[in-house]
Amino acid sequence: MIITTWNVNSISVRLPHLIEWLKQHKPNVVCLQETKTVDEKFPEQELAEAGYSCEFFGERSYNGVAILSDRPMINVHKGFVGDGPTEAKRLIEAEIDSTYIINVYIPNGSHVGSPKYEVKLSWLQKLRDHINSRHDLSKRIILCGDFNIAPDDEDCYNPEQIKGTIMVSEPERSRIEEVRNLGFTDVFRLLNKEAGQFTWWDYRMGAFRRNMGYRIDHIWGSQCMADASKSVWIDKATRKLERPSDHAPLVAEFN
DNA sequence: ATGGTAGATACTCTA
C-alpha cells in the first residue's frame, strides 16, 4: 500500500500537477491539505476519471483536507467531535483496506506568542485527546499530513538561526511529541537517518533554490504499520514545476 | 528587524 501526503496549496490550481502525479506514481491513498475549496467545488469528477474516489472537508479560501483512494473508503469522519460548523476544516479520517487514515492540517501558528500560536497549541492537545479516546494504536493506524512542526533540529536548514521560532519552538515540539507518544513512529525517520531532508520551502527569498527548508509534512504509523513500512521518499521534483505548491509530496510504501 | 511570494477574495488575510 502506497500512502502519500501533500499540501497542494489550492486543489484547483494544483489539479493538473496532482492528476499527472497520480498517473506517474499510482499511489493507493493520497491525503491532501490546504485544498482551499468548498465541497461543492471539489474536483470529484476529474479525480474519479483518474481512478480515485474522494472524501473531502473544505471551506472557502483557507484550510481544507481530503483523502483520495483507489479502494473503497468506510467509516469517514470529519473534524473533532463537537466542532461547530464554523470550525476550521483541518481533520478528515477514513478506513481503507483495514487501515485507518487520519489526515491533519495542523494550524501554522503564525508567530510564537501570537493568538494563532495559542490556537495551534490547543489544537495539538485536542488532537491527542481525540486519538487517545477514539483510536486503538494496536491496530493499523496512519497519522499523516502537514503538521507545521519540524520535530528535530536536523529537520530544518539552520537550527541555530531559527531557534525558538514558529515550527521549531519547544512548546509545539513537546505537544506533537505527546501525540507521538500515544504509540506512533515517524516512518520517514525510521527509514531515513539523513539530516537536511525537507518537505516545505517558503515561496520567498529563493528558499527552494538555497534549500532553506523544513521537514514539516509527516507520515506516522502505529507499531504494526512501522513494522510493515518498506520505503519512504520526498518528491522534490514537484517543487521544480511551474507554479508549484510550496510543499512536496511525502510518499511511504507499506507491506 | 524587515521583507520577500503565492493563493483566494475582494481591496486583506493567511501562510
Write the pLDDT tens digit of every residue in A189-243. 999 999 999 999 999 999 999 999 999 999 999 999 999 999 999 999 999 999 9
Span CA (A228) to C1' (B4), Å: 43
Check if the beta carbon of residue A79 is closer than 8 Å to that of residue A54.
Answer: no
Contact flag, residue A107 CB and nucleic strand B, below 7 A: yes
Q: Grid coordinates standing for A196?
A: 537536511
Query: Is the overall model pTM greater than 0.95, yes or no?
Result: yes
Contact flag, residue A26 CB and nucleic strand B, below 7 A: no
Check if the beta carbon of residue A118 is closer than 8 Å to that of residue A76.
Answer: no
What is the percent of chain A with per-residue pLDDT over 70, rounded to a whole number? 100
Beta bridge pairs of residue A3: A29, A252
- Torsion angle defined by CA atoms of residues A8, A14, A19 and A23, in that order, rounded to the nearest 10 degrees: -60
- Say how far apart CA A162 and CA A33 lie, in whole Å: 25
- Banded pLDDT at A43 (limits 50, 70, 90): very high
Those residues with Cβ within 8 angstroms of residue A213's Cβ, 6 or more apart along the chain or in another chain: A156, A157, A198, A199, A200, A201, A207
Beta bridge pairs of residue A83: none
Beta bridge pairs of residue A95: A74, A100
Region A146-167 average pLDDT: 96
Check if the beta carbon of residue A100 is closer than 8 Å to that of residue A139.
Answer: yes
Region A59-83 average pLDDT: 97
Residues 112-141, chain A: which have Cβ under 7 A from strand B? Answer: 116
**Predicted pLDDT at A52:** 98
Return the SS3 of A214: strand
Region A153-171 average pLDDT: 96
Burial A3-23 (b: 16+ CB within 10 A, else e): bbbbbbbebeebeebbbebbe
Q: Which nucleotides of B are covered by protein (CB under 7 A)?
A: 3-9, 14-15
Contact flag, residue A110 CB and nucleic strand B, below 7 A: yes
- Say how far apart CA A5 and CA A10 lie, in whole Å: 14
- Residue A174 identity: S
pLDDT tens string A116-152: 999 999 999 999 999 999 999 999 999 999 999 999 9
